[in-house]
Structure 1
């Protein structure tokens, strides 16, 4: 069927609807290929040192499947593990292969059933959509070549073929489509099987009759931006069968005469490298691109970039019409310079061209800075444009009213000014003319031709004022009238099509691949120029919006935008990689030194002199500025429109750094006293400094600290106890940790060694452990109180470990004594062996169990002592509770709860009670909830409450329980305990 000559709108609308679906599917496939390429495990890409290497086979598997299956049967566990680890990835790959097979097959069937006429008599949406669908087929092949090595694709296909019982049609399709190339002509493009007449027609139309297309077609709105990429992909579909030198020469003259590096769907392609194996194309390109021409083109583009005067300061709506073509010129030059100075050359010839471009620029051009500079202007302009579009109707009325009032002012001046160089009748006609002009503006300025009328009125008024000699008379009004007419013209010119074209021009899709090479520059911008970085990221994320708007189906836009945004955010994460290290550097150099100094209550001269120390103040100011810049840098990447969530990345980095610090803090050499004292002081300083620094960036430092400390102690204790339970034995070596350079001892292991009955003796009346030989004091329980205050989770985890150690020792003793039970039968020889081994082994077990229970007792004593210290705070909380329940108190009377809640980890220093919140819960902890906690702690009115479902961290609930038991111990006998109610109900009732 001839699609060009068909006049039946119904048939063409069916084809158009079908092609829209095909194009949207092709765009989604290219995005999915890029997304999956980022999450392929490294052991599949390079299985050399992976444990999965035996099961990752290439296409040689299909030569003798039965033989390989027999060999792989012994690796069933590896098959199960790799499938369990990558189940979702494999499912996504199969879906992508199915979509790719359907996409290619469907479009090929369409070309066979409804081929276009080679004569161009009409150019419409169907024709453009055909070319766009063909473009996405080529882009899919190019993406597979660029993102995946051929060996990786083979390993994935074989793995899916072996592991999946239900082999889809897409998997069968890629078996033949994705094998490694056998020769230079065997490529993914040649395997697609696009009809060569269709490819020839594209090359003929754009090589021989491109000017004819421009005459016959009103626009090439969809494919004009991708024409060079479309022609490049067309040549990839039949590189070796092309011998029409004149046609190729015309194509190169039209599309590649001034560029040899292009962006194809985000892939940077150097034509010198890509066409190096094609003699005809390579020679034609070499005749057009020489070293002298490369230098001349670079100078031209640099001059074009520098001649654009980017406005500074606020943006006015009247500036936009004249600024749009300037920005288009700037972005075109910027794209050319970025692409041709990007160092990704694979041959000496292309590297020579890159060197020439860079030497010509000679420091006059930094791509990331040039992009950030124009991005600030574009951000302001797009923001103003979008705001003006939303209020266009009201703004037009206001602008028309302003112009009308200024025309009335001109009429009044003409009426009242004597001795004008005009006769009375001419003055009357001139005033009538202004009235007619005002009436026309009021009637037509808000119509479709409002912009034309505004510019026409401006030109006519300029001409009349200058021709009749009224320039001096109207000097005060004329400039304001010109500005108002410019604003009216700009407002009338506003439309969504122009805004979309502005975003398309500004979106740097080519820059995504360059982000890795710009990583160090972006990190510097993050710390020193966060506002520039924000504008830079805004410009990058314009690409996401442009691609999403290009999708015809509204249901596909949001998933596509999320996928693109996620991929771009991953590229930007490299710029945030050094941020946590810089945060801890500021903490070490600025925050902790300030916290270490304790200011006395009464200041003497030396302390006052320190307050005025310039170096100290400068150091503090630099640290504050660094934190503020880091905060602004993180905030600059947190825009909702960008789609990225950098605070999560920063939090992950802070967690990694904190884990390293905590391991160093609790794993140290030296005596146990020094180790625990150092860990206690360092943890207090580090916790306060971390929370202070994180608050600047709105990162939950308190939650990060609590979760990482809990992970370090509680999860490690859980792991050791589980291992001991499985093996039914205890080994103190499990308490050791692997240090960065040497095997270091943990605090727990140091306590075990310091209280070892074989090496030390416990002196009961002194409550100390002394060395068995020298009598030197080795360990005292007093140091545990300090550890309980600074790291309470450490003491609770240690207590659990000690009890588990004692339990396992007791179980071992009972196991050894089982032969002595009355129900057991033992031979005389067995009794002899038992009599020889039992004293030593049982002695060791009994000593270890006693030691563990004694240490656990002292740990519990330290925790109870810490709770008793909070009794005064509870008393003051009780007074505040009484005032509140008697309706005599307010928020100020509840401030006495702050010390208690700080001890429970619910309130960082400096926050008011009304803003208290549970770090593990997004809901605020209200004063009423604080009062209920005090009620629960003190059992006011004889009513015992329970924590119930109040959203509190587990360690906070543990502290609360221990504190309540200490405060109310002995108040009630067990039989007289009051009835318990749920604290959440209490909160609801109050």
Structure 2
């Protein structure tokens, strides 16, 4: 208004002058206006008023304001004294002219001080302290009527003006920190907006939980072929009506937040579509993280049938996660989001974050939350306190601990041909491939890959502290089973990627072998991430052999073959070949299993130079020859 003050005032003055001249012409009798008799006095009077309006000077605001007020009073009086009320056209003309004159008076009185007064009256800086007390009322209003978010938009914009006070002095000083401070306050305001509107995703997920319950426990999946007389049984009209009603409520809530349209809050652009998606992601992360934490809590005291309990928990968790996934895919079109993409991104983020935090116990420099690439301020991954007496940090650590407890080499026998563990006493199956399939259903491939990474850290720690070989072997056997499940899943669900990775791996190995035969051939440079990236993809798809990996760097140990020979000789005394299971088993229950011990020995020797391995094999050959020489002819 201030910048266009003079131009606006002059335009209004010209318009008022023209209107008064038109009224003068009307009373001259020459204008074809209905039922207006000629009146020379009124004609001259209106012409005189028009001349006075032309003489108004914008530069002399005080005098012009008084004259405008007098002109308005004169127009009101002429309407009363000359009984012009009978002609509505003249009355309307007079009223519009008075309105223009009043607008001129208001504009000429607008000064810089008015802006200062408005700033003082409308200052909302105190709202930073008290606004949170009204959050609950706003959320209740949104739950009752989602369209109220359009009205809240004005409140959020008003809150943005509260940033002006802390930024005033910084702006006046022309400080380079203005942008960073503005960004901070804008981010704080956006955080509060997210907090208020988070009630929409929460309410949506309450409805979604009901949809999950109906789809998981009540609705039957349609078979490929269906008999005509069973159509009614699979129709389940009442249940499908409930799902439709709940879906409509979810779409209504999404419409409420999308109606806000794009808004600039401070210097941050607030996109309602992104706001809705982030809110849904946040609530999804909270729900999935709690489900994983709650399902994977195991009793502190081991007991018989522990493996069956592990499988039952994994199956229950898999059913719950499948219900989440199916319902999330079901509503994605109604809230305009990419459901499967969000599901995969957030589940992988939850699992990778928990694996990262669990692996902190094996690192000298811990990865804190603010350093983690998986943690987010806008969509935080919740942390839950571990059960009393549990050394694991989260669910992935408890799952790894439970697997190690169930497959304890002192209590079980591993049979490689069956890829399963059996109880050493009863010879009943303890853990088999069905457990890995249930684990993949519950945790997806991200969970299997993350568990494999955690076992790798445990393996490195065990190698560095020189634990017993059978404990190393137990970890390696578990990693082989995880790799096998990932490889089967990759071959089944991603045939193209599996084939491409296999071909790429073979071609890289061929070129590396060619380089070692002829050093003039190319080899990836040290700063080239190709090999590292390919290995990451191969491990994520289970296309690797844990027993062939080198986990720690070691120096040459001349006595290592002799030490390993003594360890193997001592262990052999406690082992026997069992024809019923065609493998080495313990002579006495509760001592050692042959397969984990063998895998542990292979792992230890793999960390040393090939000459050390050859020396050990030569010593073992001499021991075998000496034993054969002692046998009767």
Q: Which has the larger radius of gyration?
A: 2
Query: Can you give the 5+ residue segments of structure 2 that lack an aligned partner in the other structure?
Result: 300-307, 366-383, 508-523, 545-633
Aligned-partner Cα distance in 2 for 1:640–1:690? 34
Equivalent of 2:74, from 437, 460, 464? Answer: 460
2:83 is aligned with 1:469: yes
Structure 1's 516 and 459: CA in aligned 2 closer, same or farther, altered over 3 A? same
Structure 1's 634 and 698: CA in aligned 2 closer, same or farther, altered over 3 A? farther
Aligned equivalent of 1:610:
237
Q: Deviations over 1:509-532 (max 9, x none)?
A: 555554565554455456555455
2:62 is aligned with 1:432: no
Q: Please show how residues 486-885 of structure 1 align to structure 2 within 5 Å.
A: 486-508=102-124, 512-515=128-131, 518=134, 520-521=136-137, 523-524=139-140, 527=143, 529-531=148-150, 533-546=152-165, 548-549=167-168, 553-555=172-174, 558=178, 565=185, 579=199, 582=202, 586=206, 589-590=209-210, 592-593=212-213, 596=216, 600=222, 604-605=231-232, 610=237, 614-626=241-253, 639-640=265-266, 659-667=289-297, 671-686=309-324, 704-720=346-362, 739=386, 743=390, 746-785=398-437, 787-788=439-440, 790-806=443-459, 845-871=468-494
Aligned equivalent of 1:313:
none
Query: Can you give the 5+ residue segments of structure 1 that lack an aligned partner in the other structure?
Result: 1-387, 724-736, 816-844, 879-932, 940-945, 967-990
Aligned-partner Cα distance in 2 for 1:552–1:755? 66
Aligned-partner Cα distance in 2 for 1:804–1:710? 14
Q: Deviations over 1:748-771 (max 9, x none)?
A: 223223333333333444433343
Query: In the alignment, is the contact (CA less than 8 A) between 1:411 and 1:434 conserved in 2?
Result: no
Aligned-partner Cα distance in 1 for 2:495–2:63? 80
Aligned-partner Cα distance in 2 for 1:696–1:393? 50
Query: In the alignment, is the contact (CA less than 8 A) between 1:628 and 1:696 conserved in 2?
Result: no
Query: In the alignment, is the contact (CA less than 8 A) between 2:24 and 2:42 conserved in 1?
Result: no
Query: In the alignment, is the contact (CA less than 8 A) between 2:351 and 2:446 conserved in 1?
Result: yes
Aligned equivalent of 2:570:
none
Query: In the alignment, is the contact (CA less than 8 A) between 1:768 and 1:780 conserved in 2?
Result: yes
Q: Please show how residues 194-213 of structure 1 align to structure 2 within 5 Å.
A: none
Query: In the alignment, is the contact (CA less than 8 A) between 1:525 and 1:532 conserved in 2?
Result: no
Aligned-partner Cα distance in 1 for 2:496–2:417? 33
Report the Cα offset of residue 711 of structure 1.
0.9
Q: Please show how residues 285-364 of structure 1 align to structure 2 within 5 Å.
A: none
Report the Cα offset of residue 416 of structure 1.
2.2
Report the Cα offset of residue 469 of structure 1.
2.8
Report the Cα offset of residue 652 of structure 1.
7.9
Q: Tell me the C-alpha RMSD between the 2 structures.
A: 6.0
More relative contact order, 1 or 2 (CA 8 Å, 6+ apart): 2
Q: Deviations over 1:23-67 (max 9, x none)?
A: xxxxxxxxxxxxxxxxxxxxxxxxxxxxxxxxxxxxxxxxxxxxx
Query: In the alignment, is the contact (CA less than 8 A) between 2:49 and 2:71 conserved in 1?
Result: no
Query: In the alignment, is the contact (CA less than 8 A) between 1:677 and 1:786 conserved in 2?
Result: yes
SS of the equivalent of 2:413 reads strand
Q: Deviations over 1:239-295 (max 9, x none)?
A: xxxxxxxxxxxxxxxxxxxxxxxxxxxxxxxxxxxxxxxxxxxxxxxxxxxxxxxxx
Normalised TM-score (structure 1): 0.38
Aligned-partner Cα distance in 2 for 1:533–1:950? 52
SS of the equivalent of 2:421 reads strand
Report the Cα offset of residue 849 of structure 1.
3.2
Structure 1's 689 and 486: CA in aligned 2 closer, same or farther, altered over 3 A? farther
Aligned equivalent of 2:598:
none
Query: In the alignment, is the contact (CA less than 8 A) between 2:19 and 2:93 conserved in 1?
Result: yes
Aligned-partner Cα distance in 2 for 1:798–1:641? 42
Aligned-partner Cα distance in 1 for 2:389–2:250? 33
Q: Deviations over 1:307-345 (max 9, x none)?
A: xxxxxxxxxxxxxxxxxxxxxxxxxxxxxxxxxxxxxxx
Query: In the alignment, is the contact (CA less than 8 A) between 1:676 and 1:747 conserved in 2?
Result: no
Aligned-partner Cα distance in 1 for 2:296–2:311? 12
Structure 1's 536 and 431: CA in aligned 2 closer, same or farther, altered over 3 A? closer
Aligned length: 473
Structure 1's 483 and 687: CA in aligned 2 closer, same or farther, altered over 3 A? farther
Aligned-partner Cα distance in 1 for 2:223–2:10? 67
Normalised TM-score (structure 2): 0.55
